[in-house]
Each structure stands twice: as C-alpha cells, then as structure tokens.
Structure 1
Amino acid sequence: MKINDAVERIDGVVANCYSLKIGDVTVLVDSGTRSGGKKIIDYYERSGGKPDVVVITHHHADHIGGLSEIVERFHPKVYVPDLELKIVSGEEKPPAPKSFIGRIIARSLKFNPVKAIVPASKLDVPGIEVMATPGHTIGSTSYILDDFKLIFSGDAAVESGGKLVINKTFTYEINGAERSLETIASMKGHTVLPGHGNPVKI
C-alpha cells in the first residue's frame, strides 16, 4: 500500500512494516513475524532494492520476528529502542504483558536474537526524529518523518474504528501507554502510521 511518493506499507505482514526512501537511504520500519520476514525479503528482491537501515519500534515478536533473516540477507544497520537492546540481543528476557491473555500469547511468539544492533538514540538518518513513547513496552519508540508529517508509532498508537487507541492486552504499563498516546495525539497535522490498522490523520 503506497502512503506517498516516499513511503509504502509492505503488504501481507501481520504487524505493519513500512519502507521509506530518504535521499539515497532506504529505511525499513519494523520487521514483522518470522513469516513476515520472508515477505519483506520478497518485497525488496522483487523491487531490486534492499533496506540500508532498519528501525525497530519495540521488541514484541510480531515486530522483530523477521529481523534476524532480514539482517542475514541484507546486512542493514539496525536501530533498536535503547531500553530494549538487551532484549533484542537475547541477553535479557522480555517483561511479560500485565494481562493474562497477553502473557499466554506472548509465550507462543518467538524471535531469534540479533546482536549487531545500535541504540535508537544514535539514529543518524537525516529527516527522521526519534521520540520515546514508552508504556506499550518499556522502551517503545516512535519515529517522526517531519518533512511528510508522518509518525511511525509501532504499537504506542494503533488504529481501531478510525481512532488511535492502545492495545491493553499486550501493554506492559497502562499509565505510561496512555501518556504516550496523548503525546502522539497532540501532534496536530501529522498522520500516524501505526503498527496495526490503517493510517490516522490527527
């Protein structure tokens, strides 16, 4: 699904993943489940391109499950929320969601650790701003493409019924998630490209 001339949502992936072009740099936002990773690789191989940079919004397996395969195939530079580096690298176990259903489902979703990662705070792609939006996970991070007034929110803000909401089932800390949602929702004139659901213009 084409968002604009610079941004496309990659079809067929469980959690939304986006490919964007900034100058000569191709950036992938999130990397889907394990099966989604294969679809992302197919997407780039069909287009004859590759991601130079991957930015991760949070550590949940539907957003990083395909990362190890993508790294092995394309060798991009990978930026991960600072507080979640040890989770993505496999050095620490991820904190469980607070809800019982969330904990059950989280146990069934796995990902292969990736060691070659960089803190999101070090992101140096011109035109992308990093914004901490914790609560859904401990280090949940959004990325702002200001020239196009776009916010890649991951699951800090998802779409339901045309509105921005938080997914309480899989959220680690509800109060923090609500504050982050308020921050995103205050950015009038921007369009949110969420981890689940359709774009929402604020």
Structure 2
Amino acid sequence: MPTEIVDGVYDITCKHDESYMGGARYRVFLFDGDVPTIIDAAFPDTTNRLIDGIEKTGVVPERLLITHGDGDHIGGYNALVDRYGVETWVPNNLSVSTRTEGVGLDTDPDHRFSDGERIGRFEAVHVPGHTEDSYAFVDERDGIAVMGDVAMGSDLRGFPPGYFVLPPEVWGGDVNSAERNLEKLLEYEFEVGLVYHGSSVLEDARDTLEAFVNFPGKVYYETVVRNR
C-alpha cells in the first residue's frame, strides 16, 4: 500500500527484500499538486506493483523525473510512459546501468536536464559520486529534498533511523566524491529528506545532513591541521 509520508507526497514501496542489507526497500515518490509528479520508476519487474500503488493514491502522474540510471530507479520508465503518457525528464548525462537486465528507454525522453535546472516545483542538483549522473531534487517551497541515491537512511546499515549515510561502496561509484559533493545540498533549505533505501528523515533533514557532512573531525582538520 502507498503511504502519504508527508502531506501530498506518497511513498510507494515496490519491493522489500528482507534478506538483503537488513531489509532493503525499493520505492518511488509521487507528489500531488498542479502537475502531479513521480520521481523514479523502480525495477522493470515491479511495474505492476508500482502502477497498483499509484492507482490506490487516486493521483494521476503527469510528469516523471529520473534521478539517475540505475535499474531500480529507471526500470519502470517504459511502463509509466505507456500507462500515463507522462512528460519525461532525465539527466543530460544519463547512463543506464548495465547491472539490471531489461532496462532501457523505448521512447526518447521529452527533456534532458542539467545542474540547477528548474522543473516545476523542483530544482535539479547534480551530486555525482554514487554514479556520475546522480541528481537530487529540492523543493524549497515545501521544504523537501528527494535524495535519489546520493544518501540513504541510516537504518539500512544497521544504525538507528533518522540519519543519513552514504551508499555502500559495493553499489559502485566514488565514495569520496559522493561524500564531498553532498555539500552542494547544504546550499538549500529543506526540512524533509526522502531516500529510496532505508528510512527517510522527516524532521530537521538539512541540519542532519550538515552534521554528517561537517562532522567535528573534518572541521578540526580543515581549520587547524591543514593550516599548520
């Protein structure tokens, strides 16, 4: 069943793998509003569950945004286009992952976006590291950041929920860049940070992210050790 995780925003969990990483969840987010928008599309083989979840919300998506090209984020792209005729937006440097079979775009996207582009209520923020094409979407009006895979919920790694962690190295990418580039999100104001894996952070999300990025040891090193 979909869950209205904050007002007008639905978490549609398409897969829950209890055997992997403490219970990995794979989800999409559906935003109600002037232009109902779905962000990401889950796996190719979860499209029936995704569409069923959308139907249960009563919201008909008109726009699809893609955060990056991993199969669990872009796999249902074709099904959503076929079912709803959504306007599609994908990263200008989209790289479709080869790690998931059956992933591909049957129709060219309507739009390609780059860092800083406004798409309705959202601003696209390029945060490479997990993948080169990784983006987050920030809606400062309502104080919501959709993190893509630039960060994940701490409970995915066995910690208490309510915090952010980096994607694990086994999922590919450059962990150092992934951490360093999170600083870009601190330029924005948001209260809620929605993640695709693990539990989202629903209060003080920006401050929580800043505490993770600018931890005391880093601040000490940058202000004291580096300047010796």
Classify the TM-score, shorter chain. Answer: 0.7 to 0.9
Name the CA shift for 1:39/1:185 in 2 (closer, same or farther; >3 Å): farther
Unmatched 5+ stretches in structure 1: 89-93, 97-105
TM-score, with structure 1 as normaliser: 0.80
Within 1, Cα distance between the matches of 2:118 and 2:62?
A: 12
- TM-superposed deviation, 1:115: 3.0
Q: Which has the higher contact order (CA 8 A, sep 6+)?
A: 1
Q: Which residue of 2 aligns with 1:11?
A: 13
User: How many residue pairs are counted as aligned between the two chains?
Assistant: 183
- TM-superposed deviation, 1:170: 1.1
Q: Are residue 157 (structure 1) and residue 159 (structure 2) matched?
A: no
RMSD: 2.3
- Per-residue CA deviations over 1:92-128 (Å, capped at 9, x if unaligned) read xx4x7xxxxxxxxx2x544132432121239654321
Q: Is the 8 A contact 1:153 1:194 kept in 2?
A: yes
Within 1, Cα distance between the matches of 2:148 and 2:119?
A: 19
Unmatched 5+ stretches in structure 2: 16-24, 209-228
Name the CA shift for 1:37/1:143 in 2 (closer, same or farther; >3 Å): same
Between Structure 1 and Structure 2, whose CA radius of gyration is higher? 2
Write the mapping of 1:48-197 to structure 2, written as runs, cut at 5 A. 48-84=58-94, 87-88=95-96, 94=97, 106=99, 108-117=100-109, 118-121=111-114, 125-160=119-154, 161=159, 162=161, 163-167=163-167, 168-184=169-185, 189-197=190-198
Identity of aligned residues (%): 25
- TM-superposed deviation, 1:61: 0.3
Q: Is the 8 A contact 2:151 2:166 kept in 1?
A: yes
